[in-house]
Chain A
Amino acid sequence: MLRFIVIRLLQAIPVLLAIYTITFFMIKAAPGGPFDAERKVPESVLEKQRAYYGYGDSLSTQYFRLLKRHITFDFPPLASVPGLTSGDIIKNHFGPSVQLGLLAMLAAVLIGVPTGTLASTKPNSLFDYAPMSVAMIGICLPTFVIGPLLALVFGLWLGWLPVSGWFEWKDRILPALTLGLFYAAYIARMTRGGMLEILGMDYVRTARAKGLKELLVVFKHALRGGIMPVVSFFGPALAGVVSGSFVVETIFQVPGMGRHFVQAALNRDHSLILTTVLFYAILIIVANILVDIIQVILNPKLRYQ
Chain B
Amino acid sequence: MSFLSLSPDSAKISSEISEDPQSLWQDAWHRLKANRLAMFGLGFFLFISILSYLGPLFYAHSPEEISLSLGATNPLSKATLVEVRFDEEKQTPDEVITLQEFIDVYAEDPETDVANLSVNPTTELMGIYFSKIERFHFLGTDNKGRDLLARIMQGGSISLGVGFLATLVSLLIGVAYGAIAGYVGGKVDSFLMRIVDILYALPFLIFVILLMVAFEGFEHQILLIFVAIGAVEWLTMARIVRGQVVNLKNMEFVEAAKATGVKTIAIIARHLAPNILGPVIVYATLLIPAVMLLESTLSFLGLGVQAPNASWGTMIKEGAERMQAYPWLLIIPAGFFSLTLFAMNFLGDGLRDALDVKTAKD
Contacts and interface: CB of A to CB of B under 8 A. Distances in A.
Interface of A: 15, 19, 23, 26-27, 29-32, 136-137, 139-145, 147-149, 151-152, 156, 189-190, 193, 229, 235-236, 239-240, 242-243, 246-247, 250-251, 261-262, 265-266, 268, 273, 277, 280-281, 284-285, 288
A256 to B, nearest CB: 14
Interface in B177-228: 198, 200-206, 209-211, 213-217
Chain B: interface secondary structure? helix
Contact of A30 (B205, B213, B313, B342): B213
Contact of B345 (A139, A251, A265): A139
Chain A: interface secondary structure? helix
Contact of B214 (A30, A136, A239): A30
Given A136-B342, A242-B203, A262 B214 contact: no
B300 interface: yes
Interface stretch (B27-35, B68-76, B262-270, B318-326): B318-326
B209 A148 contact: no
Given A144-B317, A243-B203, A246-B301, A152 B210 contact: no
B38 to A, nearest CB: 13
Given A30-B215, A139-B345, A243-B204, 11 more contacts: A29-B214, A31-B216, A142-B296, A144-B320, A152-B330, A239-B201, A239-B203, A262-B209, A265-B209, A265-B213, A284-B203
A148 B213 contact: no
A149 B330 contact: yes
Contacts of A148: 316, 319-320, 323, 330, 334
Given A144-B313, A149-B334, A239 B202 contact: yes
B203 A152 contact: no
B252 interface: no
A240 B206 CA distance: 11
B202 A284 contact: yes
From B211, B289, B293, name the one whose CB has the most chain A CB atoms within 10 angstroms. Answer: B293
A240 B313 CA distance: 18
Top-5 shortest CB links A-B: A243-B205, A148-B320, A30-B214, A145-B334, A140-B341
Contacts of B15: none
B301 A189 contact: no
A117 to B, nearest CB: 16
Chain B's interface size range is 35 or more
A149 B205 CA distance: 23
A155 B144 CA distance: 26
Contact of B301 (A247, A280, A284): A247
9 contacts: A27-B213, A29-B215, A31-B216, A142-B297, A239-B202, A242-B203, A250-B300, A265-B209, A277-B206
Contacts of B206: 242-243, 261, 277, 280
Nearest to B339: A140
A247 B203 CA distance: 13
A151 B323 contact: yes
A16 to B, nearest CB: 10
B338 interface: yes
Contacts of B324: 152, 156
A268 B210 CA distance: 10
A247 B198 contact: no
A166 to B, nearest CB: 19
From B198, B289, B330, B345, name the one whose CB has the most chain A CB atoms within 10 angstroms. Answer: B198
Contacts of A240: 203
Contacts of B341: 140-142
Interface in B73-126: none
Nearest to A283: B203
Nearest to B331: A149
Contacts of A266: 213
A209 to B, nearest CB: 28
A190 B201 CA distance: 19
B338 A140 contact: yes
B192 to A, nearest CB: 15
Contacts of A23: 210
Nearest to A288: B201
B139 interface: no
Contacts of A273: 210
Contact of B300 (A141, A144, A268): A144
A262 B201 contact: no
A285 B200 CA distance: 11
Nearest to A262: B301
Contacts of A143: 297
Given A142-B297, A144-B320, A265-B209, A19 B202 contact: yes
A53 B210 CA distance: 21
A275 B211 CA distance: 17
A239 B213 contact: no
